[in-house]
């Protein structure tokens, strides 16, 4: 249903009362409502407007079946999909047969489902092996199921293992079922089979293997099984469960299990530190301090880490004097500890906040001299340089900035840029341009290189379109299978194939690029971006083809339409979406922001009221609706700040109240210095990334002409 189902639905709703819609408009509106998950609305449209069943190869019947499916009327959906298939040919017919089979399967009718999966495979032999998995899953004869699995695709081996295990169970061979699942690393499922077979010891072992895995789905299944059937009985099991819950569950649950591990006798330093970390995550800093201080008194391994964390927890509680004294004692006791640079920086930070600037400078200098290559030394040099610039001591500032460049600190490129600025402000334009030009070449696609290029008046980069080789036959075959699985709503199989496609160990570099470009075209840019970075490490980053994978634009037409409607720069919208969600319509942040432009539900509802359109929170996950409201929100931010991009982006990320406070900085108006002054690293990096992304999108995708 294209990439604008919401717009299609709204346009039909607005226009239907003004004129008589034609059959294609009615059909597209019904399809749009199905795509939006509004089965009742689709049924209403189709019931009010009679369409011939044969229209566009049975499309009205297909839309009706989709609406029935959404409503849970699976048996009738199966019948309607099957009826629609009589008007279709080729791939479309195979898809409709598979959809009918899936609907019958959900209706509890395995025999007709199996027959239809077989017919779909005969219509489209390229996916016959995937459909054999479905046939095996609905086969009532386990021997037949095992036979069908012989032709299962390599990418579907995990699904095949589950079906094979179920067949073994049906045949009474639980041992074979357990081995099959364990070999596929489906430990939680294997544990359930072992438990059903009465082997609780083996079941416990398998469940805790699942708990310990780094794969989220498997670990989550292990956690559920452990809590339901095998509560931890040893300190080790409590700790395993605690660490899994920390990664994939709740901090409260992790803390409870860590406390249980401690009470069960695990008083190791690692467990004490983990316990304190969990308490801090729960904002129980007093409790964390008690844990850290007890660890210090226990005088075990690495008491220095506990001592440092205790001081840091006092600082986070706002007990500045106590924290300063604790950091100083830590440094006196352990001057060479790996946490010493952090402690020294935090002490300098405290003194600077108190206005005791000479003491702060002394501490920052001591950090720079003792640990010049440490990340905290880089931060200290940034503070020293900023102080020197405020005092208009350009000589001292340049000395510090050169040291940052020489030591290759995390702020080396910012320091290089600032050195050029100081030269220009001192009247030495030739040196400034030379330094900015050098930085632009060194950091060609980075924020500081982009800013340097603009300051030096260098032309914006352009990236030629090189002739691309034809997509390799193997990749083309797998992408065609993915298209079928998506169209047939065979989600488990689609996810399995995606996992196979995005595993670089299966492919050569050229094939990885083919796959990535194929995924971008199919709305899976986030996966493609990950592959792009992999290719960059194997090939080279500045290859235009690689850059267009890492910075894709899969929804270009949609973005350009919204840019025109709200008078926005389309490259800025693309840059923002790339940063917010990597073009993932289903993206959700921990704070609850959702969709392509990561809108909060309350913000979207308010925008809907302003724009006088019907709203549902479900629309946050619909690409064209989300981008429409996100673009409206961005336009509002830009109007609020008189078209200035930097404060508008800061407000989009951190909120207007903070930006109003930051605009009182003396650097406001000098947007480079303003960005450097923003106290939130996340917001500072966000703005820098978007400004860099906007320049890259303009270079990669050419001049924009409003549609």
- Dihedral-angle region of residue 40 (phi above 0 means left; psi in -120 to 50 means alpha; beta otherwise): alpha
Tokens 């800061």 map to which residue? 650
* Tokens 């673009």, located at residue: 631
Residue 531, exposed/middle/buried by CB under 10 A (0-12, 13-18, 19+)?
buried
The tally of CA atoms less than 13 A away on the side-chain side of residue 671 is 13
Cβ 267 vs Cβ 238: under 8 Å = no
- Provide the 3-class DSSP secondary structure of residue 664: coil
Helices 570-580 and 623-640 pack at an angle, to 10 degrees, of: 110
Q: What are the phi and psi torsion angles at 582 (to 5°)?
A: 55, 40
Which of 647, 638, 630 has its CA nearest to residue 683?
Answer: 647
Q: Report which DSSP code applies to 37.
A: T
Q: What residues have CB less than 8 Å from 163, skipping those under 6 apart?
A: 133, 136, 137, 145, 149
154 vs 380: CA distance, rounded Å: 53
Q: CB count, 10 Å around CB of 224?
A: 15
Q: Which of 3, 580, 667, 682 is catalytic?
A: 580
Report CA-CA distances (Å) from 70 to 106, 290, 560, 624, 687: 12, 54, 32, 21, 41
CA distance 290 to 317: 13
Measured at the CA of 689, the angle between CA 684 and CA 694, to 5 degrees, comes to 135
Distance (Å, rounded) from C-alpha 71 to C-alpha 572?
40
Task: Please give the Cα distance from 502 to 505 (Å, whole number).
Answer: 9
Nearest Cα to Cα of residue 423 among 381, 395, 404: 395
Is residue 354 among the annotated active site residues?
Answer: no
Return the SS3 of 613.
coil
> How many residues are recorded in the chain?
707
The 10 Å Cβ neighbour count of residue 89 is: 10
Cβ pair 78, 42 in contact under 8 A? no
Calpha distance 84→99 (Å, rounded): 11
Cβ proximity of 196 and 174 under 8 Å: yes
**Among all residues, which ones are annotated catalytic?**
580
């Amino acid at each position: 249903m294209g990439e604008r189902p919401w717009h299609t639905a709204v346009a039909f709703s607005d226009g239907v009362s003004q004129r008589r819609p034609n059959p294609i408009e009615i059909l597209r509106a019904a399809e749009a409502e199905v795509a939006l998950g509004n089965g009742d609305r689709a049924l209403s449209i189709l019931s009010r407007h009679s369409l011939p069943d044969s229209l566009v190869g049975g499309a009205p019947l297909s839309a009706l079946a989709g609406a029935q499916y959404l409503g849970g009327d699976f048996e009738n959906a199966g019948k309607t999909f099957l009826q629609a298939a009589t008007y279709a040919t080729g791939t479309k017919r195979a898809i409709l047969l598979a959809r009918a089979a899936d609907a019958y399967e959900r209706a509890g009718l395995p025999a007709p489902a199996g027959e239809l999966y077989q017919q779909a495979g005969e219509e489209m032999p390229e996916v016959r092996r995937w459909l054999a998995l479905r046939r095996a899953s609905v086969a009532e004869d386990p021997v037949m199921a095992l036979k069908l699995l012989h032709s299962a695709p390599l990418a579907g081996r995990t699904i095949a293992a589950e079906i094979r295990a179920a067949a073994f169970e049906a045949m009474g061979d639980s041992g074979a079922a357990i081995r099959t699942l364990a070999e596929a690393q489906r430990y939680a499922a294997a544990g359930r089979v072992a438990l059903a077979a009465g082997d609780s010891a083996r079941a416990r072992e398998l469940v805790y293997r699942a708990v310990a895995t780094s794969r989220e789905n498997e670990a989550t299944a292990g956690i559920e099984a452990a809590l339901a059937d095998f509560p931890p009985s040893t300190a080790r099991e409590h700790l395993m469960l605690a660490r899994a819950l920390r990664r994939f569950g709740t901090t409260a649950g992790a803390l409870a299990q860590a406390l249980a591990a401690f009470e069960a006798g695990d008083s190791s330093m690692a467990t004490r530190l983990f316990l304190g970390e969990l308490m801090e995550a729960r904002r129980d800093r007093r409790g964390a301090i008690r844990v850290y201080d007890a660890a210090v008194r226990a005088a075990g391994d690495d008491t220095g880490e506990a001592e440092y964390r205790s001081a840091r927890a006092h600082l986070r509680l706002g007990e500045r004097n106590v924290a300063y004294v604790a950091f100083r004692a830590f440094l006196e006791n352990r001057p060479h500890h790996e946490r010493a640079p952090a402690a020294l920086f935090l002490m300098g930070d405290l003194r600077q906040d108190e206005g005791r600037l000479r003491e702060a400078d002394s501490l920052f200098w001591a950090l720079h001299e003792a640990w010049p290559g440490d990340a905290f030394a880089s931060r200290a040099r940034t503070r020293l340089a900023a102080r020197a610039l405020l005092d208009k001591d350009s000589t001292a500032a340049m000395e510090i900035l050169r040291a940052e460049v020489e030591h290759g600190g995390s702020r080396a490129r910012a320091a290089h840029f600032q050195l050029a600025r100081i030269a220009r402000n001192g009247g030495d334009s030739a040196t400034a341009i030379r330094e900015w030009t050098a930085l632009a070449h060194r950091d060609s696609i980075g924020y500081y290189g982009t800013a340097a290029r603009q300051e030096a008046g260098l032309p914006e980069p352009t990236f030629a379109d090189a002739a691309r080789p034809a997509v390799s036959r193997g990749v083309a075959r797998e992408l065609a299978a993915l298209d079928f699985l998506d169209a047939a709503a065979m989600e488990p199989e689609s996810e399995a194939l995606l996992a196979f496609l995005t595993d670089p160990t299966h492919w050569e570099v050229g094939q990885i690029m083919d796959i990535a470009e194929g995924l971008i075209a199919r709305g899976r840019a986030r996966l493609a971006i990950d592959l792009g970075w992999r290719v960059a490490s194997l090939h080279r980053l500045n290859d235009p083809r690689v850059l267009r994978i890492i910075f894709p634009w899969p929804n270009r037409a949609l973005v350009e339409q919204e840019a025109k409607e709200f008078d926005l720069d389309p490259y800025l919208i693309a840059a923002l979406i790339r940063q917010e969600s990597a073009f993932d319509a289903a993206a959700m942040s921990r704070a609850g922001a959702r969709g392509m432009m990561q809108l909060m539900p309350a913000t979207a509802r308010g925008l809907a009221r302003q724009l006088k359109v019907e709203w549902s929170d479900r629309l946050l996950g619909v690409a064209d609706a989300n981008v429409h409201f996100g673009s409206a929100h961005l336009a509002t931010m830009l109007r609020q700040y008189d078209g200035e991009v930097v404060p508008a982006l800061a407000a989009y990320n951190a909120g207007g109240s903070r930006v109003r406070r930051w605009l009182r900085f003396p650097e406001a108006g000098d947007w480079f210095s303003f960005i450097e002054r923003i106290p939130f690293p996340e917001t500072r990096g966000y703005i820098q990334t978007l400004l860099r992304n906007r320049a890259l999108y303009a270079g990669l995708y050419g001049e924009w002409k409003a549609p």
